[in-house]
Amino acid sequence: MSITQTNYAKRRSRFSRVLKKLPFEGMLLTHLPNIRYLTGFSGSSASLIVRGDDYDLLSDSRYTTQIGQECSGLQLQIRHVDETMLDLLIRVIQTLGLKAIGVEGSTLSVDYFLTLNDKLANVELIPKTGLVEELRMVKDSEEIAQIRFSINAAQRGFQRMLTSLKLGQTEVEIRNELEYALRGFGAEGTSFDTIVAIDSQAALPHAKPGTKVLGKSSVLLIDYGARMTSGYRCDITRTMVAGNPSAKFEKVYNVVLEAQQAAIEALKPGVSGAAIDKIARDIISKAGYGKSFGHGLGHGFGLEIHEALRLAATSQQELQPGMVVTVEPGIYLEGWGGVRIEDDILITRSGHEVLTNLPKTLDAMSIYL
């Protein structure tokens, strides 16, 4: 929903143009977010075969009606009750008479690949990864609108959750209130498993909410996002402190904030992911916390929570207008806790636009309960 059929058709013709330059007759797509991007299909079982401007969507009868509601301009191939998806794939590829097709090497399983090779002796399968992902890297205006809706739901939900925050609540209870609140503002669900981490748990970049309790001077790290029914999502982190911050929290927090702001300032077309990562990493290293920042600085997102491009030491790709990325430096100190601050930023022709605007000064992060 919310992405128009016109837009899906436009994406498909863009993809068909890419394919026509490649030395194979068609492409078998198996990565569901790629299929959703090109067709709107939001179910959990499908393959898409592309030949020129023709798109065959392969699925099963549970989804026949849904595909009618969500998609248009496709040939629909529904597997028979006594057929597997693999049987259907073989049947359709044979019927279409394809001789050389690209396959998505990053998601097609070895079992499927070997069986297709075996049963389709006259068909050459050519692994080719990232074609749709490359289109998805630059968002169109409908996608950016969906991401803005997602951020709106996420931020309003966060602020409602804050109004119910109490000393004595566990991480799990805070998570439950937050996720309920997101939905009240239109989210279909979360962008990924919400992280709510108190005190020493905040030292784990991917902490699972547990039984730790919010105390009088606790650190509270929340990393979360709202997923809309369109599949688009966002990714936000705030680190708060109950009561007045300790000197240590203040020091660590301000280093992370400075690193984040400097990296955001530098975002613009033409700069590489590595260059942006370095800006934040240098500030954190200079403050003596280099070893406590073990992950990349940020990543693209959209239909998936981690998409190209990455802001990381190994990322030579350059930013382009229409990309959206997170910027999320962190410092993690085992036994004590951690601080991460994360915002979502759109790259524009002239530079960038910060899409998220939850407060993040140290002052605003001190919560008095």
Are the C-beta atoms of 296 and 305 separated by less than 8 Å? no
81 binds a second copy (CB under 8 A): yes
By CB under 8 A, residue 217 contacts a second copy:
no
For a second copy, the binding residues in 22-41 under the rule CB under 8 A are none
Q: Which stretch binds a second copy (CB under 8 A): 58-66, 140-148, 150-158, 250-258?
A: 58-66
Residues 289 and 332: their CA atoms lie apart, in Å, by 9
The residue type of 361 is T
246 part of the interface to a second copy, by CB under 8 A: no
**66: contact with a second copy by CB under 8 A:** yes
Segment near a second copy (CB under 8 A); pick from 50-58, 99-107, 140-148, 321-329: 99-107
Query: Quick one: which of 183, 250, 258, 271 contacts a second copy (CB under 8 A)?
Result: 183
Alpha-carbon gap, residue 283 to 290, rounded angstroms: 9
Report d(CA 333, CA 29) in Å as an integer.
Answer: 43
| CB of 155 or CB of 292, closer to a second copy | 292
C-alpha–C-alpha distance, residues 336 and 252, integer Å: 11
Q: How many residues does the chain have?
A: 369
Is 61 among the residues that bind a second copy (CB under 8 A)? yes
From the number of C-beta atoms within 10 Å of its C-beta (0-12, 13-18, 19+), residue 204 rates as middle
Strand order in the sheet with 47-51: 75-78, 54-59, 47-51, 26-29, 100-103, 124-127
Stretch that binds a second copy, among 138-146, 149-157, 198-206, 321-329 (CB under 8 A): 198-206
**Residues engaged in binding a second copy (CB under 8 A):** 42-44, 61-63, 65-66, 81-82, 103, 105-111, 113-114, 127, 129, 172, 176, 179-180, 183-184, 188-189, 193, 203-210, 229, 294-295, 313-314, 334
